[in-house]
Amino acid sequence: MLRSILIVGLGGFIGSALRFLVTRWFQVQTASQFPWGTFTVNIIGSFVIGLAFGLSEKGNLLTPEWRLFITVGLCGGFTTFSSLSNDTLLLLQGREFVAASLYIALSFFLGLLAVFAGRFVTTQIL
């Protein structure tokens, strides 16, 4: 159990640090109210988790430890539902109703599409 906790913790540390860097980069590079950083990490994380589960389903190409590291640790630290919720609230408070609606809809549908694409790549192409 301690080994699993350390695996998840290491993945979470790396994922959280990467999320910070990506989000910070978007904050510096864009002057938009739209939360591009959180949006981007959530879509990329969805694709990566799709890849990981696709690899796991295709002949166990990932060990249980690697799957735990990538899905729970790395993707868990990299993606963020709480930031998505807060960003949406900020958009709504700023009366950016169209942007908030697009953010919610695109985050969900592109995230779902990204998971599908990740699984498709691993199960159909590799």
Under the banding of pLDDT at 50, 70 and 90, the label for residue 61 is confident
The pLDDT value given to residue 60: 74
Domain ranges of the chain: 2-125
Q: Do the Cβ atoms of 48 and 116 come closer than 8 Å?
A: no
Under the banding of pLDDT at 50, 70 and 90, the label for residue 58 is confident
Average confidence (pLDDT) over 69-88: 95
Under the banding of pLDDT at 50, 70 and 90, the label for residue 59 is confident
Who contacts 99 (Cβ-Cβ below 8 Å, separation ≥6)?
33, 34, 91
